[in-house]
Amino acid sequence: MKRQSAAATLALLLLMSSPALAWNPFRERPQPPVAAREPDPAPFVAPPPGIYYVTDTYVADVVTSSGPLTTYSTTTVHESTGSYARVLDTVGTGASSAFDGSAFNGRRTLGDGRSVAGTYYENYVLIDGGFVPISVVFFQDDAELARLVAVATRSPAVTASPPSLPSQAARSAAPACCPATRPVPMPASTPPPARPIRAGVSLLPVSAPLSSVEVLRGRAVALWPRAFVDDREVPVLTWALVAGDPGEALVLAGSGGAPFRTSWRRLAPPGAAYDLVFRMEVDLPDTGRRTADARITLIVRSPALEN
């Protein structure tokens, strides 16, 4: 009986008891403030879709002729000015574009008046994290074949009348005597006509001669005087600029192995261009030394590219 009372008392004490609160020695200490986290540096701004970094820079529009074939192309130089570009529109021969008239170098036409084929590009620069458009350029890529119609003229046929027969009296009469034989004089030998010299100017020592070329203001250009006889190139002994604005050229004459180098820092008057005339001397085996003139038109465009 006593044991049962003791067990009941112990159980009652356990039920009425409560756990003691544990003391935390660091609870009363002030915690150091959490420093604000610096934002991550902004990453490099990547070009939007379609924009790429330019590594080949526009130099000039080139028109070359080889017989009946005329080629319209664009020359570039492998360098970067820190700019970007994207394709705006690619057009075929004679097709119109919404960007016609927006390119600083314009768009040429073929001999029949149709616009040349090519691609419009828009140039950008990266400023304060954004891409800003600065210009539009047209890269021409086309060719045309001239239709040469040869008109053959024939001499009218001449009908020869049959020789008349001598009369009976003439046939029966004996000849009085035979005239003395005279030597027939030989015609004097005529010297062969001088073969024409076709003179021209090209951008490279082995490229086709050009009638006109477009250059950027302040951009250096080299012009090579060339001479051809019967579609065969002949060496140019000397050349000299005899007419036209030489621009910033240091020399106005030279030998056939050196080009004419210059640049133009100013534009021609509106609607005009720089017309140059080169006089060159060649030595032909059949006619000796002769001279010929070559003409080329320089169209200076602006603005110039930065070096």
In a domain, residue 297? The reply is yes
pTM of the predicted protein model: 0.40
In a domain, residue 179? The reply is no
Whether 273 and 203 share a structural domain = yes
Hey, CA dihedral for 47, 48, 54, 55, is it positive or negative?
Answer: positive
pLDDT in tens, 257-294: 789 999 988 888 888 899 999 999 988 877 788 888 99
Q: Which runs of consecutive H residues, i.e. helices, occur in the chain?
A: 2-16, 168-172
In a domain, residue 13? The reply is no
Whether 202 and 297 share a structural domain = yes
For the chain, helix (H) and strand (E) counts, in that order, are 2, 16
pLDDT in tens, 158-176: 445 555 555 555 555 555 5
Average pLDDT over residues 241-252: 90
Tell me the residue range of the domain where 137 lies. Answer: 52-145
In a domain, residue 178? The reply is no
Q: Which of 127, 145, 163 is the last residue of a domain?
A: 145
How many residues can be counted in the chain? 307
Is residue 177 predicted with pLDDT exceeding 60? no
Whether 203 and 135 share a structural domain = no
Hey, CA dihedral for 77, 78, 80, 84, is it positive or negative?
Answer: positive
Whether 292 and 202 share a structural domain = yes
- E strand or H helix at 262: strand 260-262
| Total structural domains within the chain | 2
pLDDT in tens, 213-223: 888 888 889 99
Tokens representing 284 are 């032909």
